[in-house]
Amino acid sequence: MEAAYDSVPAAEPGGRVLAVGQAYRRWALEHPEEFRLIYGDPVAGYRAPDGGPARAEEDRACTVLLKLVEAGLSHASAARSKGVRHDWSDFGPGFVARVNELFPELPPAAAALAMRTWGRMHGPVALELFGHLRPQLQDPAKPSISASCSISPELSDSPSPTTHRSAPRRYPPGSDSPVAVSRAGTGRHLWSAP
């Protein structure tokens, strides 16, 4: 996501949003097990420890989203959350400390916009990864791209980007999802992405 953000000029905030969204999707499809470990609940009741690799990856992704919002803050009328007021007390103390350290000028409403941006990027990717879009859509990339394009006007005064290239689909033979099915109780998978 960091490389995708840096690959698009600052003058093209809509293109940056699309690039980051596609990079997030591409990584998820190429690394479905890692995606599940970081963003799923692979073991009931397990919570990744603070300071561990899963939390570090979450922090990296969140930092890119905060950069998107910071870059578009002057245009981000959506940061006002349409009548919902945000305070720093709405967020976890670790998140607040990180935002204040890296982006000291960002108001709580902008942090909330970053979280909404993440949700809008993550939702279609998770639906695709877990096979929920396959029965309804010929091109499961489109909801992800559409979500990224719908975010762009909130962060810039430029129009939404309209071109895209789908990341390749990597599904196991005979499966509707790139996520492998676990063998009961073994923790081993019948298929894993290359």
The pTM of the whole model exceeds 0.85 = no
Separation of alpha carbons 101 and 30, rounded Å: 32
pLDDT at position 81, please? Answer: 58
Confidence (pLDDT) at 82? 67
* Domain region containing 110: 2-155
3-state secondary structure 50-63: CCCHHHHHHHHHHH
CATH number at residue 55: 1.10.357.10
**Does some domain include residue 55?**
yes
Can you give the pLDDT at residue 11?
84
pLDDT value of residue 94: 87
pLDDT of residue 97: 92
Domain membership of residue 56 (yes or no) is yes
Rounded CA gap, 5 and 65, in Å?
A: 9
Q: What domain count does the chain have?
A: 1
Give the per-residue pLDDT at 161: 55
Q: Using 70 as the pLDDT threshold, list the residues of the chain that sit under it.
A: 42, 54, 74-82, 156-194
Q: Does residue 176 belong to any structural domain of this protein?
A: no
Q: What is the pLDDT of residue 160?
A: 52
Is residue 4 within 8 Å of residue 21, measured between CB atoms?
A: no
Residue 77 lies in a domain: yes
Per-residue confidence (pLDDT) for residue 45, from 0 to 100: 76
Asked whether residue 60 is assigned to any structural domain, the reply reads: yes
179 within a domain of the structure (yes/no): no
